[in-house]
């Protein structure tokens, strides 16, 4: 029998960093009956309704569509902890709650955010989280929470093609959640170490973006994902976030083979190919070496192979399929 007749039908609601889209796409390719409904409610990230009557109509239509999608499924998979209401307001169907980062790391500790996230933790049939640093936040709230490493869709990545003057790209936003204070120190150290021989670029995004601008970082606006990946693919090296863990952007850079500079928390990853150093100056020294011969550094790191082994979507899909089967079996 095919997987679509022996495994539960699953609808993914919402998304974060295209994790849901990737999981569903690869799940379908593996023969599972999964589908994705990423859209938010009217006025929550999409087009704002023109008037109160249209707003009421669109909100009602949205709720009806959500209910129909839920009724088609055996299991719901809800992305991001603050969106548990989609399960709370649907028919009684078991659901997986997927924590992606800021939800359980930050919002859970706020009076406004905690009740919704706690409801999801209490009522979900299973909880998964996407990066290893979230373990310390997830398990006290949901002791059986499962680590599901972020999948990287290797097929969507452009070819790494560094051209022109040496270019260092800071892949993450300048936010305190990414330890922007240390990120700014690293940026200053790289600026000083390269002495104007390299172009430093980053996103015009985050709480401390003006400090990055003051350091002389060339800031580019937020952009669609495909454009962002093309921008990243032009880097001679990439500097990852300073949180000790890798987000999707850092994994994508590694998967493209780009020398990626960042310090990782001990125990989070096994044999990760990120280029680490002793403090901002040590990381700046690694950047200087990477800029001298990025292709040689990339060949030594073999980072794409590491990403395939540890963050390939196929592994995440099979792990998730096993979770769904256990839920459907009761």
> Do the first three CATH levels of 3-151+312-328 and 155-310 match, i.e. the same topology?
yes
Report pLDDT digits (tens) over 279-321.
999 999 999 999 999 999 999 999 999 999 999 999 999 999 9
For 95, 269, 274, 297, the CA distances from 190, given in Å and listed in that order, are 46, 25, 17, 18
CATH level 2 (architecture), domain 155-310: 3-Layer(aba) Sandwich (3.40)
Strand partners, 76: 11, 95
pLDDT of residue 47: 56
Q: Is the pLDDT of residue 1 over 60?
A: no
pLDDT digits 0-9 by tens, 88-97: 766 689 999 9
- Residues in the chain, overall count: 330
> Which of the four CATH numbers 3.40.1480.10, 3.40.50.2000, 3.30.70.1400, 3.40.50.1100 does domain 3-151+312-328 have?
3.40.50.2000
The residue extents of the domains of the chain are 3-151+312-328, 155-310
4: pLDDT strictly greater than 70 = no
The DSSP call for residue 195 is T
The pTM (predicted TM-score) of the whole model is 0.90
> How crowded is residue 193: how many other Cβ atoms within 10 Å of its Cβ?
18
For 171-271, list the strands marked E by DSSP.
199-203, 218-220, 237-239, 260-261
């Amino acid at each position: 029998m095919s997987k679509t007749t022996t495994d539960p039908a699953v609808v993914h609601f919402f998304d974060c960093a295209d994790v849901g889209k990737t999981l569903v796409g690869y799940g379908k390719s593996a023969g599972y009956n999964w589908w994705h409904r990423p859209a938010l409610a009217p006025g929550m990230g999409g087009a704002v309704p023109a008037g109160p009557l249209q707003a009421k109509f669109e909100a009602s239509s949205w709720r009806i569509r959500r209910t129909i999608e839920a009724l088609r499924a055996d299991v719901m998979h809800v992305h991001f902890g603050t969106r548990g209401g989609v399960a709370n307001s649907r028919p009684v169907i078991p659901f997986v709650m997927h924590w992606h980062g800021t939800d359980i790391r930050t919002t859970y500790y706020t009076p406004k955010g905690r009740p919704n996230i706690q409801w999801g933790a209490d009522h979900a049939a299973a909880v998964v989280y996407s990066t290893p640093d979230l373990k310390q936040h997830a398990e006290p709230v949901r002791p059986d929470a499962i680590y599901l490493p972020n999948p990287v869709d290797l097929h969507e990545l452009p070819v790494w093609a560094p051209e022109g003057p040496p270019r260092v790209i800071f892949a993450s936003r300048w936010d305190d959640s990414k330890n922007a204070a240390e990120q700014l120190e690293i940026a200053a150290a790289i600026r000083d170490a390269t002495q104007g021989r390299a172009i430093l670029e980053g996103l015009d995004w985050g709480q401390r973006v003006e400090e990055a601008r003051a350091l002389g970082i060339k800031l580019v606006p937020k952009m669609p994902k495909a454009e962002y990946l093309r921008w990243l693919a032009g880097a001679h090296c990439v500097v990852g976030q300073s949180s000790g863990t890798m987000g999707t952007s850092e994994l994508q850079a590694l998967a493209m083979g780009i020398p990626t500079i960042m310090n990782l928390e001990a125990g989070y990853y096994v044999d990760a190919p990120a280029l680490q150093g002793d403090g901002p100056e040590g990381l700046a020294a690694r950047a200087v070496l990477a800029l001298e011969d990025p292709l040689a550094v990339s060949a030594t790191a073999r980072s794409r192979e590491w990403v395939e082994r540890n963050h390939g979507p196929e592994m995440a899909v099979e792990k998730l399929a096993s979770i769904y089967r256990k839920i459907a079996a009761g």
